[in-house]
Structure 1
């Protein structure tokens, strides 16, 4: 702490005083919200405290420019006859980077009277088909919230109905659903798990590959989502990518605990409008080890990730716009070697097991081409083709320990005495996906619009996994057993959809939609008709009531279709495909919101989710796929059938004060219950049924001098603990993994999770240059939260693992 304080002081002295207030440019593009065509003649005003607004009007291409804008937070207002007014508060302007706004305006339903809608950065989803359980999040929010580390998933864990409660991973639980139910989309394409050290079937990881510096404002859905989102029963991250600056070259560099980053963007030429944006990051986690900071393992993880986007506007022969083509790619690779053979017996190892050396690597990459065009003032087309691949590769070696006369492991110099090390497990999963997403938006005046399209994935899967178990009773190994042997298995996932929206009156909007989900992997994975519907009613006194419902379905994680349990000790047959169908879910949501003041909103939602046709084992047991994907481990179920059930219901409340007068706060509370029924017909708590979650966030910005700001933020989180059961010690010793007693699974609960974070950020703006120094003090009180029960080679053959504890994360960034 002392070293960090001294460094902050030194940087402040080095920056020196600014002699003049630095300025920068705000510019951007204004489009019609439904048809996406440029709006001409929009009045764009910068509302200054002096009372004399600075303004511009959009040109034939819908662009505007406000020059020499003083750095800091600004307010921009957009007006156009026949469209609803847009008012954006607290646009952040920095000296080192132009502020580029891509905005949309909604056509007024009636022109008989003045219609004014003040659309601040209040989190309402950009997707006009969403009526409930949807929120837009900005790039600034992913960096503003304490403890978020600039990641979309950790940021979203602050919203009502969402919980994380794991310091070591960014998996999120949405309304009691397992994290495996989360869908990640980029430019309309379903993408693999976008996290380093990702495990098959999961949606999270310790560090995100996604970098907030290349995201545009995006949407997050927690239930009853529109028809264009399929193959999920939990939630959706619908991520949008921004283009690089097409007029000016800009560069940024960042150094911090989580990595060294370089970002470059700009135009390809001085006369054209084509642009590029490139980023790269390499891990600096060795710093944690150097400073003695506990990250849950003695191993040093290594990772790198990057992003590229090139945007090319197209023109017709007459000079009119013919749309644009964007070529983009992102990906990351990660490696860790967790060597229990070199660590001390008492060392923590929350990412691995304590009886083996583990070598693990993963990578994820995706590249695509997106074409978008406003065909005319009522029709918009967007189409993306992409290729993605993700790989998990692991090798385990079992440690034979020397033992004393009592049978207990021998410890020498605080380490287990090792007799020998022998191969135990070897697997490699690889999934390649060829994807197409095409969407058409059609509008009829201001009252009716239609969105239709198709999402298509062609998937090729390779999986090889061999394992053996040491039989301690006769000191012999079982033969190598192939659990996966799938080579080139190919199948398709097809999802057509149509969604219609109509304003029944000026204040009442109805949306209805249909979608289908067809997975050709087997004959059971088809859902031909899934209806969706929503109703939004604007009431007097700035109130709103919303209702939404829908039928949703989801396939199993791909790797589970090809798992072959070897119950008789014989080698597995070549990739047998499991004949198990989709899990299904009905969502019902009712919401109420009210703008209490100009910058404060209250929102409440109640929901009920009924899950049926859930995959469970044929043999009566407590297993359910609803508990899969809640951590970093694969599951190995026996033969499955669609006879399980689940139900989630709850109440969510949000009180949010939007950023104004230099401060912001967010209070969220969730009360819920999530239960499931396995094939043993017993209703149990799901693993993640915490019962409640509460978040309180606060941020205050201080203007120290001209061009200098200090931002202080804090966050407090508390949630109910996760569920587990008594450990079967004999079975755990036999399987060399924690095995819970079947009948009493999820009858015990970890103590509640509590965490307090503080974030400080000091920013200095000079002429065309911005310095930012920030420190995120995660779990500053060092609260010891329970994480899991792990296997141990010593009696009683299991031990309690705890969260990371206090974790300071700093970075320094320069934009120029």
Structure 2
């Protein structure tokens, strides 16, 4: 660690004497927001060059522009055209090591009157014009600069109002008290499997994102009442867009850090046609944490690698074709037999060796064409898949006279092993998502489309029961097949949505979607209306309202579970229907200054037809979707309910004058009812969440030093009283169903720092950065685990990660 501090200290004192001015190119393409038709004669102007103010250019007949010899640093760009709303791009980073490519869509103005100033879109507003509330655009720059985000979109999103991310080892996103399983991931318009390493069936998060942030274009994040094109999600949506490579110049990025060694290559395939390529690859370096003596929660060494690519081919007549893909593999072997008694193991069970591998990948083809200045078509065809493969060996410990395992040389004495679990879950999808957008006028736009997914399932699982017997060898039962399914099913989601300006300051967004899942007759939602209304008020204020019905299929592996399929060949839950939810949101938005924004939202969410157990219990699907374990419920029925309500506040200063901040706070309550009829806290009902992010940039000529900080405070997760007899019999923690979620862990607290130093040289940019996660080393509780002790106790509190420095060095050239 001292070497890292020394390195940052040294580079911060680089000479600031007069140096030659370094410059770079800014270029891109300007299009109509709805029709994607290229716009000619658009004015592009850099407004913050004191020595040469007002440097600018115009777009050509196909919407292209180029600004040469732009000094490196942060630049503000104004984009304007008669009949369109002005776009103001603040603090665009221009580095010596790579060209800055900005493709921008302009929104047509409803009215254009003499003496009337047409206002620009607010910074941070969603790319999707149909979204009027609970939506935000995020950029790769944000994912990079937020302290504690580790460059990941999911961890970055935990800073937004209404979002919790209180797990150091996973990037699960809890939105407004909902299960993280309710989050929908979209890439290039199609739904994709969980895009994270070490993913477990039924979850949407993991330890590390597979998608490289270097691959992302500006994307959208939704926390409720999302537009009609987003089906099969009840909590939130990540709508990710992939960027094209540079089509004029070859560029390279190399990065080495604690989380991995990475390389990114991009450049032209043909300068004449404008085609380009973009390729990334990363290989894990988690051994560096061990080398540095940093605790990552286990002595096992997680291994992962991932890659992505995008090939872009401009075609004739305003059309283009992109071929893209990404994927990764991750492996971990949690070997209790090789660990010492004092070793931490917060990810596995203490009675077995566990071998686990996960893989996922997506490859797709996207075609886009602006048919004319008013009509745009887009279609994506993709094939995706994910696999989880696990194998467990039960360990036979030699017990002493006290009945506890014998310890020799700080290791448990093991007399043998036996296989007790073996499963392989494989799921593939063939997805098609065509859409058509037509702009009737500057006031009215219609978008219609269909999202279809053909699923193929291959779920295989066998396990043996373990029966501990006092003062006798542990008995293993016969193998039982719990999953054995090779089936397919079709998921269809047609939608139509319409945005219209009812008046100069009043906007309506209305949509209708439907969801059909062919697996059973209960998985059909014929009509789901979505409605939003936004009213622009004087003094840069806006009030918005939205409501919508949303539904979601269940984690697909749950449909095919059986207690012993070799005997009865009957799936317990093959007929379970959809989970449904009504969202109601209202928001107030005000610009307090040119770069200061205040936003307040209030919401109510009513969940119904939630799967719960048929027999009396506290189980609900609303508590699933987090962690590294699957669920094994009994017979499920769609009779459960839930309700979430709360208020959120966002105060944000956009980057200006060398600094920015983001303060978000949420007060909420999330409860549910299981088949026992008791209204309980959900596992994720932290009651409140608070985040404060701040960053300051110091310029040293053509170099810069950024220092950022983040403070997080979130209410603790809920749990219940432990059933001691059942826990000892199962040799793992089993909670009393009747007292579920009556106890709460202490609040989660964390303070993060981030420091990065950027050095620009001729056609080269160096970046040295350290993300100091949990600087104060606060011990936040993760869960309870089963760990017998000599004094007869067996309940152990497992704590989350402590202080975690994440270092990287990157060079762009």
Q: Comparing 47-56 with 521-530, which one deviates more in the overlay?
A: 47-56
Partners in 1 of 2:690 and 2:573 — Cα distance? 43
- Residue 806 of structure 1 is matched in structure 2 by 803
**RMSD of equivalent CA atoms:** 1.5
Unaligned runs of 5+ in 1: 316-320
- Residue 139 of structure 1 is matched in structure 2 by 140
Aligned pairs for 1:673-752 within 5 A:
673-704=669-700, 706-752=701-747
Deviation at 1:270, TM superposition (A): 3.2
Q: Is contact 1:18–1:707 with CA below 8 Å preserved after alignment?
A: no
- Residue 68 of structure 1 is matched in structure 2 by 69
- Residue 448 of structure 1 is matched in structure 2 by 444
Deviation at 1:116, TM superposition (A): 3.8
Q: Is contact 2:245–2:276 with CA below 8 Å preserved after alignment?
A: yes
Aligned pairs for 1:179-190 within 5 A:
179-190=180-191
1:411-453 CA-to-partner distances (Å, cap 9, x unmatched) read 1111111121111111000001000011110011100000100
Classify the secondary structure of the residue corresponding to 2:704.
Answer: strand
1:197-237 CA-to-partner distances (Å, cap 9, x unmatched) read 00000000011101110100000000000000000100000
Q: Is contact 2:374–2:439 with CA below 8 Å preserved after alignment?
A: yes
- Residue 508 of structure 2 is matched in structure 1 by 510
Partners in 2 of 1:404 and 1:149 — Cα distance? 46
Q: Is contact 2:572–2:634 with CA below 8 Å preserved after alignment?
A: no
- Residue 784 of structure 1 is matched in structure 2 by 779
Partners in 1 of 2:416 and 2:551 — Cα distance? 48
Classify the secondary structure of the residue corresponding to 2:436.
Answer: strand
- Residue 647 of structure 1 is matched in structure 2 by 643
- Residue 434 of structure 1 is matched in structure 2 by 430
Classify the secondary structure of the residue corresponding to 1:27.
Answer: strand
Partners in 1 of 2:618 and 2:756 — Cα distance? 48
Q: Is contact 2:244–2:276 with CA below 8 Å preserved after alignment?
A: yes
Partners in 2 of 1:483 and 1:645 — Cα distance? 28
The 1:680/1:574 distance shift into structure 2, 3 A limit, reads closer
Aligned pairs for 1:451-600 within 5 A:
451-473=447-469, 475-487=474-486, 489-566=487-564, 571=567, 573=569, 578-600=574-596
Classify the secondary structure of the residue corresponding to 1:608.
Answer: strand
The 1:362/1:116 distance shift into structure 2, 3 A limit, reads farther
Partners in 2 of 1:17 and 1:482 — Cα distance? 73
Deviation at 1:10, TM superposition (A): 5.5
Classify the secondary structure of the residue corresponding to 1:213.
Answer: helix
Deviation at 1:2, TM superposition (A): 1.3
Tell me whether 1:606 sits opposite 2:607 in the alignment. Answer: no
- Residue 330 of structure 2 is matched in structure 1 by 334
Classify the secondary structure of the residue corresponding to 2:7.
Answer: helix
1:707-759 CA-to-partner distances (Å, cap 9, x unmatched) read 11000000000000000011112112222322101110100000000000000
The 1:177/1:417 distance shift into structure 2, 3 A limit, reads same
Deviation at 1:702, TM superposition (A): 0.1
Partners in 2 of 1:762 and 1:129 — Cα distance? 39
TM-score after normalising by structure 2: 0.98
1:288-321 CA-to-partner distances (Å, cap 9, x unmatched) read 0111100000001100000010000111xxxxx2
- Residue 385 of structure 2 is matched in structure 1 by 389
Tell me whether 1:621 sits opposite 2:620 in the alignment. Answer: no
- Residue 753 of structure 1 is matched in structure 2 by 748
1:258-308 CA-to-partner distances (Å, cap 9, x unmatched) read 000011000012322000000000000000011110000000110000001
1:351-410 CA-to-partner distances (Å, cap 9, x unmatched) read 111111110000100000000010001100010000001000001111111111111111
Partners in 2 of 1:14 and 1:137 — Cα distance? 32
- Residue 410 of structure 1 is matched in structure 2 by 406
Partners in 1 of 2:219 and 2:633 — Cα distance? 36
- Residue 761 of structure 2 is matched in structure 1 by 766
1:458-510 CA-to-partner distances (Å, cap 9, x unmatched) read 000001111112212263211111110112x1001000000011100110000
The 1:287/1:18 distance shift into structure 2, 3 A limit, reads farther
Classify the secondary structure of the residue corresponding to 1:206.
Answer: coil
Partners in 1 of 2:658 and 2:466 — Cα distance? 62
The 1:781/1:452 distance shift into structure 2, 3 A limit, reads same
The 1:601/1:659 distance shift into structure 2, 3 A limit, reads same
Partners in 1 of 2:274 and 2:571 — Cα distance? 50
1:96-120 CA-to-partner distances (Å, cap 9, x unmatched) read 0101001011111012245545547
1:621-658 CA-to-partner distances (Å, cap 9, x unmatched) read 00000001121211100000000000000000000000
- Residue 32 of structure 1 is matched in structure 2 by 32
Q: Is contact 1:88–1:120 with CA below 8 Å preserved after alignment?
A: no
Q: Is contact 1:329–1:368 with CA below 8 Å preserved after alignment?
A: yes
Q: Is contact 2:573–2:635 with CA below 8 Å preserved after alignment?
A: no
Deviation at 1:12, TM superposition (A): 6.4
Partners in 1 of 2:153 and 2:15 — Cα distance? 31
Partners in 2 of 1:701 and 1:133 — Cα distance? 29
Partners in 2 of 1:742 and 1:83 — Cα distance? 60
Classify the secondary structure of the residue corresponding to 2:19.
Answer: coil
Partners in 1 of 2:25 and 2:350 — Cα distance? 56
Deviation at 1:598, TM superposition (A): 0.4
Classify the secondary structure of the residue corresponding to 1:142.
Answer: helix
Partners in 2 of 1:766 and 1:788 — Cα distance? 49
Partners in 2 of 1:679 and 1:114 — Cα distance? 64
Partners in 2 of 1:224 and 1:417 — Cα distance? 56
Q: Is contact 1:258–1:284 with CA below 8 Å preserved after alignment?
A: yes
Partners in 1 of 2:636 and 2:116 — Cα distance? 56
Deviation at 1:792, TM superposition (A): 2.4
Partners in 2 of 1:570 and 1:362 — Cα distance? 26
- Residue 23 of structure 1 is matched in structure 2 by 23
Tell me whether 1:6 sits opposite 2:6 in the alignment. Answer: yes
TM-score after normalising by structure 1: 0.97
Q: Is contact 1:84–1:115 with CA below 8 Å preserved after alignment?
A: no
Q: Is contact 2:573–2:636 with CA below 8 Å preserved after alignment?
A: no
Partners in 1 of 2:52 and 2:197 — Cα distance? 49
Classify the secondary structure of the residue corresponding to 2:337.
Answer: coil
Partners in 2 of 1:174 and 1:548 — Cα distance? 17
Deviation at 1:573, TM superposition (A): 1.5
